[in-house]
Amino acid sequence: MTRELSASRHFARLYTAATVPIAVIAFDFDPLVHIGSSLTVRWQTLALALVVFVCLSTMGTLARRARLRADDLVYIAIGAAPGAIVAGRVGYALLVPEAFAVGPTSLIDPAVGGLELGLGVVGGIASAAVVATLLGSSVGRWAHIATIPLLVAIAGGKLSMVLGGSGQGSFFDGAWATAFLGPGPWISLAPAVPSHPAQVYEAIGAALAALVVLVAGSLGAFSAKDGTRLLVGVAAWCVTRAAVTTVWRDPAVAGPLPVGGVLALAIAVGAIVGALLIGVWLPRRRGAHDESAAPSWPDPETRPPF
């Protein structure tokens, strides 16, 4: 039995199979925007561009409030791209090594494979930090204000994947299983197969990570604005990402986790360790250094008798 869902403007349909009762949220719409006679753009691409624009605009506003140079944001954002691309390609090579079996030169071929999001985020943060340092700006303060926009960008980017039929998980017969019908073209393989909406799961996980950071901040955490907020936010997101990878279509390599889940957990552990080093060890070391370097003069016991 098929029933149109009027609330979704005919983008979604509810399907119930005759032999195996499976309720499926099925999307049946044109994922392409046709502009004129020659230009075609995906709805997913337009939605992602809007998400990036909103998040960068928000960062610019927060930078001005934090008395940072808002125009530095342009250079920092551009500087994040090389690190994200290089690290993302390395991550994809670990994720799908057979895609690069023809040789190492395929790593720089944009027509082969894609990017792995976890390492891409890490690489982007690293190269953005280098650019901020070269600009003489505070890396810690930039990292502090970038946390929520970054997590929102990840959540919005994952939700935009629904408009392209990408990011589908493994077969699923639950009430919220999703399928993509019609000619598409859809990005996921076998889009009509009812599957876990893994892209939606990860969007929810990124939103929860942002909520954790906001709650922790309201309780007095991250007052130093030294970048620990970003590391905690990335760690929280990667934990949820690792959980979502258990319903990916990739084969498991460590328990229920595929390679992407292992990478996500490794990033989470690294981010937590980094936050502890910045938030605990470095202040103690800096305090000990300042105390040892403090001049003992004038001291009534040691000052010259004149």
The tens digit of pLDDT for each residue in 142-170 reads 999 999 999 999 999 999 999 999 999 99
pLDDT of residue 101: 77
Q: What is the pTM of this model?
A: 0.84
**Per residue in 147-180, is it b (16+ CB within 10 Å) or e — as a string?**
bbbbbbbbbbbbbbbbbbbbbbbeebeeeebbbb
Collapsed DSSP state (helix, strand, coil) of residue 13: strand
37-65 average pLDDT score: 94
At 110, the pLDDT band (50, 70, 90 cuts) reads confident
pLDDT of residue 202: 97
Please check whether residue 267 is in contact with residue 234, taking contact to mean a CB–CB distance below 8 angstroms: yes
Segment 60-69, tens digit of pLDDT: 999 999 999 9
- Amino acid present at 2: T
Residue 9, pLDDT above cutoff 90 = no
Q: How many Cα atoms are found within 13 Å in the side-chain-facing hemisphere of 286?
A: 7
How much of the chain, in percent, has pLDDT values that exceed 90? 69
CB atoms within 10 A of CB 85: 17
Please check whether residue 99 is in contact with residue 106, taking contact to mean a CB–CB distance below 8 angstroms: yes
Segment 214-258, tens digit of pLDDT: 999 999 999 889 999 999 999 999 999 999 999 999 999 999 999
Q: Which of 34-48, 190-204, 256-270 has the lowest mean pLDDT?
A: 34-48
Please check whether residue 282 is in contact with residue 227, taking contact to mean a CB–CB distance below 8 angstroms: no
pLDDT of residue 283: 64
Average pLDDT, the chain: 85
Residue 297, pLDDT above cutoff 90 = no
pLDDT of residue 23: 54
- Parse the chain into domains and list their residue ranges: 2-68+138-290
**Two structure tokens written together for 88:** 């993302």
- CA distance linking residue 214 with residue 190, whole number of Å: 38
pLDDT of residue 8: 32
